[in-house]
Structure 1
Amino acid sequence: MITGKLKNDIDKLWGEFWTGGITNPLTVIEQISFLMFARLLDVAETRNEKRAERTKKPFKGTFDGPDDKRRWKNFKQLKSEQMLAVVSQKVFPHFRQLNGGTTFAEYMSDAQLMIQKPSLLVSAVNMIDALPITDGDAKGDLYEYLLSKLTTAGINGQFRTPRHIIRFMVEMLDPKPTEIVGDPACGTAGFLVGVMQYLLEKYTSPKGIMIGENGDKIYTGDKLEPYREHIQNDMFHGFDFDSTMLRIASMNLMLHGVDNPDIHYQDTLSSKFPERFAKQATGCFDVILANPPFKGSLDAEDVHPSLTQKVKTKKTELLFVALILRMLKKGGRSATIVPDGVLFGSSKAHVALRQMLVDDNQLEAVISLPSGVFRPYAGVSTAILVFTKGGRTDHVFFYDVDADGFSLDDKRDPVKENDLPAALEHWQKRNAKKDTDRTVKYFTVPVSEIRGNNFDLSINRYKEAVHEEVQYESPKVILGKLRAVEVEIAKSLDDLAKALS
């Protein structure tokens, strides 16, 4: 969450744009994103230069050396008029030339600097230069806060999945560098970036770990070399119908080492999806991670019949699960966030979807999340469904997450209580024969019992409450204590009366 001084700095920057004549919130977000990207592009270049110097291996740079005027560290020192000229005439054309011919170029082709006042550009550059956008998940937090300023933010169920939830889901699926990974509602590509970060950490040798300027570890991913071509060009696929999100997604992935991600403008529930992207729409993916929209407008007439034949509904949360099953290869696996209603809804569509997961595929886990995970933008209760396309379901692993390491109010401050590490550990060590105690946070349930409960997947249906016997004092003892208190009160009143006489 953005709090304190950082929040004030963003608010001040937003105000600078407003007073500078740029009042469309979407335009403000895009312009701030472009400038953040310019800075991060320079940061990534510097990191690659240091890595190349250390490993003695050449790399194809984004710029023409350290003195290139298009680099953030160089143009930020220019005077206002010079800065405006360089950014508008050199930096933005450079954006449009990056990885020419790729999907990234597709979303940067119309990128242009809307800032006309030199003083506004200087103010924006200075303020963005002071933001900690290279620390941890600061980029995602900044985007989240910027998006909260849009009056439409959240209306279509769009809100960023917290980084620690993404990491948990990625670790549950353990993606491999040979696999194909997708997200049918990718937003800013948080899940795809999460997979890339996971691979970098997992496939970096001890010698490949570098220490950054702030003392943080930089994972070079030196053991990924045999898979570089696949990772750069074929591994990552994302779709969304918000062009601003796609632009940010492309920038986000590129800055995390994916030069040519397959990112496209597309409503994946639409009948046009299989027409435009036949390969990706059916049986393509080894891994799909998603937090699809839970609500919002839906053109029921445009939904592809292959989805409505399986689940006759207009509810996007049900259709997206059916879509993900269609997009997965046989044996492909997914971790998908759904609202709790998907787990226990009694409509024919709800039951049909759950039956399809259980009887036609391998439903592996239901991870119940606390209701404050998406605060302050939504208080909806959610769960993570983990499933594999095809196979059969014998047992389902349940885990009741009470705490995720942050307070469950709108502040979302860090707290000590965090069930996610334990949930991951028990998931990795799950044993259907041993995990049978339903009075603890995790247990497995045989599929026959789930079928007998109309395919209900809510954890409370199967969890057993522990009732502790409370010992009370006898009425005679309680009455004696009350009389003793009465005597003490009477004595105090007598003492008070004497003092007043």
Structure 2
Amino acid sequence: MPARTQQEEALDFPVPTKRKVYRTKSEIASAIKTARDIMRKDAGLNGDLDRLPQLSWLLFLRAFDERVDGLRAIEYDDYMPALDETHQWQAWGANEDFTGDSFLNFVNNDLLPYLRTLEGSGPDDPRNVISSIFQEVNNRMLSGTLLRDLVNIVNSIDFQADDTVHTMAFVYESIMKEMRDAAGDSGEFYTPRPVIKFMVEQSFLKLGESILDPACGTGGFLVEAFDESKPLVTNSTELAQLHSDIRGIEKKPLPYLLCMMNLLLHDVDVPRVVRENALIKMRNETSRQYLVDVVLTNPPFGGEEEKSVADRFPKGIATRETAWLFVYSVIERLKSGGRCAIVLPNGSLFETRSAAKQIKEKLLKECNLHTIVRLPQGVFAPYTQIPANLLFFEKTGPTEETWFYEIPTPVGRRGYTKTKPMRREEFAGCTAWWGGKAREGREDSEHAWKVSSKEIKGRNFNLDLSNPNTANDLAHRPPAELVGDLIKTEKEILGLLEEIEAGLRSSE
């Protein structure tokens, strides 16, 4: 008889049932802290950008066990678990006697390879979700004992308790807070929840509409769109359709994993999210079947794509500036009558060089750019102080006029910080002014003004327009703001000179 593995021997003993269970927010916060303390002891993990992915994939498997396999087994008598018995959480994650080198070997050489090779029988099979997530997931811990200690903490988090309905969201937020803090140094900017909520609400979503975020990150827009639409659902068929209509694309593996976990914790069992370069994917998928009704997104700020990506776009607009490539792709992706809410930095709005100018010209020609909401300084603090704007447009024909609304900075403050972020209430004035779905009754005010498309074209498609209803008293403006305006003006002049130079060279 072949020698039995430690896992098989451990299964001879009952899995301990008397363990601490983390349910309340304070308990879960404590559990996350304990988990991080355990991971700090392991020589294979260096910093939070190593530790947080490690914790995230374990939490995903634990959440999947309870939120998908667990609940489906209760709901359907004939439900077959997505994972075989050996690889289900209860066999290894909940088995505290399975530890040490054998446990480490099982995770590295059995569990993770198994998860990567899962194959479902159809688009709604959760095995497809698991295999896509774990293609690039690796265990980086070197100690089987510390890994067992970490798994024990994860195993003690209660993902099912009816009296702790917000527990899952809090677990997710706890991880995301740490992830945002760690990712700020690597150029990752996460959209604040008040901004997401405002953009989703002003998009006036309806059941049956396909909703895409092509730079979905950790899924903030997708979850908010789902939560906004779910109260409209009246039966299981509509709910299944809503699950299918929420779609995302994410380039990087860790945000992708967190996005899938985020949707899973909101009871979207099989998220329609893919891990690919959205710019390449959207250029390859040009047929009508890929068009969508709504796009909600915050594309990367100030990034540059590889030349091979830019070369996929038409001649003349093959810029490597990521934000404008996303704008172009979104316009192409929308159905006739579709609409978009997108975050863009000030730099993109005043950009007047050839590619940006042509894309803005395309935007105003094919779409109704009806509203630009100008955000105050520091909304994305502490990751960047770059001022940002929210653009709302519909693919319904040319723009005739564009309304601008400037969200004022709170009285007594120059901007926002990590400890004093933007709040949802600060959008209340803009929401009241908006005029509902039909945008009726809009009027000029100290915060709102409109500009004709003719004037925008006359400004060489510069959309970075200052509020004409606010006194521009130079004596009272902060020095940093004055310097920023000077730099912006110099860049505009440089752009015009480069266009003139290009024109002179072409005429020689």
**What TM-score results when the alignment is normalised by the length of structure 2?**
0.70
The CA distance in 2 between the partners of 1:301 and 1:68, in whole Å, is 44
Alpha-carbon offset, residue 350 of structure 1: 3.4
Deviations 1:152-172 (A, max 9, x none): 621xxx222122211111111
Report the CA distance shift for 1:148/1:343 in structure 2 as closer, same or farther (over 3 A). same
Say which of 359, 367, 372 aligns to 2:365.
Answer: 359
- Which amino acid counterpart does residue 260 of structure 1 have in structure 2? V
Is the 2:282–2:329 contact (alpha carbons within 8 Å) kept by the matching residues of 1? no
| Residue equivalent to 1:266 | 276
The CA distance in 2 between the partners of 1:268 and 1:415, in whole Å, is 29
| Residue equivalent to 2:502 | none
| Residue equivalent to 2:39 | 17
Deviations 1:49-73 (A, max 9, x none): 89x8xxxx75887869xx9995689
Is the 1:31–1:113 contact (alpha carbons within 8 Å) kept by the matching residues of 2? yes
Deviations 1:370-403 (A, max 9, x none): 2211111111110011111242323322221235
SS at match of 1:306: coil
| Residue equivalent to 2:301 | 294
Say which of 62, 67, 87 aligns to 1:44.
Answer: 67
Report the CA distance shift for 1:168/1:137 in structure 2 as closer, same or farther (over 3 A). farther
| Residue equivalent to 1:332 | 338
Q: State whether structure 2 residue 186 is matched by structure 1 residue 179.
A: no
- Higher mean alpha-carbon deviation, 255-264 vs 134-143, is at 134-143
Is the 2:448–2:467 contact (alpha carbons within 8 Å) kept by the matching residues of 1? no
The CA distance in 2 between the partners of 1:6 and 1:410, in whole Å, is 26
- Which amino acid counterpart does residue 341 of structure 1 have in structure 2? G
The CA distance in 2 between the partners of 1:456 and 1:110, in whole Å, is 42
| Residue equivalent to 1:227 | 238
Is the 1:170–1:194 contact (alpha carbons within 8 Å) kept by the matching residues of 2? yes
Report the CA distance shift for 1:189/1:150 in structure 2 as closer, same or farther (over 3 A). closer
Is the 2:435–2:441 contact (alpha carbons within 8 Å) kept by the matching residues of 1? no
Is the 2:303–2:321 contact (alpha carbons within 8 Å) kept by the matching residues of 1? no
Is the 1:75–1:86 contact (alpha carbons within 8 Å) kept by the matching residues of 2? no
Report the CA distance shift for 1:267/1:38 in structure 2 as closer, same or farther (over 3 A). closer
Q: State whether structure 2 residue 460 is matched by structure 1 residue 454.
A: yes
SS at match of 2:51: helix
Is the 2:368–2:399 contact (alpha carbons within 8 Å) kept by the matching residues of 1? yes
Is the 2:206–2:229 contact (alpha carbons within 8 Å) kept by the matching residues of 1? yes
Report the CA distance shift for 1:8/1:258 in structure 2 as closer, same or farther (over 3 A). closer
Report the CA distance shift for 1:431/1:324 in structure 2 as closer, same or farther (over 3 A). closer
Deviations 1:191-246 (A, max 9, x none): 1122112112x32xxxxxxxxxxxxxxxxx5x1523233333x4233222212222
SS at match of 2:279: coil
| Residue equivalent to 1:197 | 227
SS at match of 2:167: coil
The CA distance in 1 between the partners of 2:401 and 2:342, in whole Å, is 19
Is the 1:69–1:75 contact (alpha carbons within 8 Å) kept by the matching residues of 2? no
The CA distance in 2 between the partners of 1:366 and 1:197, in whole Å, is 25
SS at match of 2:258: helix
| Matched-pair identity in % | 23
Matches within 5 A, 1:98-497: 99-100=125-126, 102-108=128-134, 111=137, 113-115=139-141, 117-125=143-151, 128=154, 129=156, 134=167, 136=169, 139-140=172-173, 142-146=175-179, 148-149=181-182, 153-154=186-187, 158-200=188-230, 202-203=231-232, 221=233, 223-232=234-243, 234-270=244-280, 273-275=282-284, 277-279=285-287, 284-309=291-316, 311-403=317-409, 408-413=415-420, 418-429=425-436, 434-439=441-446, 441-465=447-471
Report the CA distance shift for 1:297/1:15 in structure 2 as closer, same or farther (over 3 A). farther
Deviations 1:128-159 (A, max 9, x none): 557998365652452352354359621xxx22
Is the 1:29–1:147 contact (alpha carbons within 8 Å) kept by the matching residues of 2? no
Report the CA distance shift for 1:397/1:13 in structure 2 as closer, same or farther (over 3 A). same
The CA distance in 2 between the partners of 1:72 and 1:166, in whole Å, is 37
The CA distance in 1 between the partners of 2:174 and 2:302, in whole Å, is 23
Is the 2:42–2:146 contact (alpha carbons within 8 Å) kept by the matching residues of 1? yes
- Which amino acid counterpart does residue 305 of structure 2 have in structure 1? L
The CA distance in 1 between the partners of 2:410 and 2:130, in whole Å, is 34
| Residue equivalent to 2:52 | 29
Q: Gaps (5+ residues) in structure 1?
A: 204-220, 468-501
The CA distance in 1 between the partners of 2:417 and 2:130, in whole Å, is 35
Alpha-carbon offset, residue 459 of structure 1: 4.5
The CA distance in 2 between the partners of 1:59 and 1:253, in whole Å, is 25
Structure exhibiting the larger radius of gyration computed from Cα positions = 1
The CA distance in 1 between the partners of 2:64 and 2:439, in whole Å, is 48
SS at match of 1:269: helix
Q: In the comparison of the two structures, how many residue pairs are matched?
A: 430
Alpha-carbon offset, residue 329 of structure 1: 1.3
Deviations 1:262-301 (A, max 9, x none): 332322333x6533x4448x86111111111112342124
Alpha-carbon offset, residue 173 of structure 1: 1.0
Report the CA distance shift for 1:264/1:197 in structure 2 as closer, same or farther (over 3 A). same
SS at match of 1:176: coil
- Higher mean alpha-carbon deviation, 344-353 vs 411-420, is at 411-420
Alpha-carbon offset, residue 180 of structure 1: 1.4
| Residue equivalent to 1:488 | none
Is the 1:283–1:326 contact (alpha carbons within 8 Å) kept by the matching residues of 2? no
Alpha-carbon offset, residue 251 of structure 1: 2.6
| Residue equivalent to 2:478 | none
The CA distance in 2 between the partners of 1:145 and 1:17, in whole Å, is 14
Deviations 1:426-472 (A, max 9, x none): 22438878433242x234444344344433333515444399xxxxx
SS at match of 2:277: coil
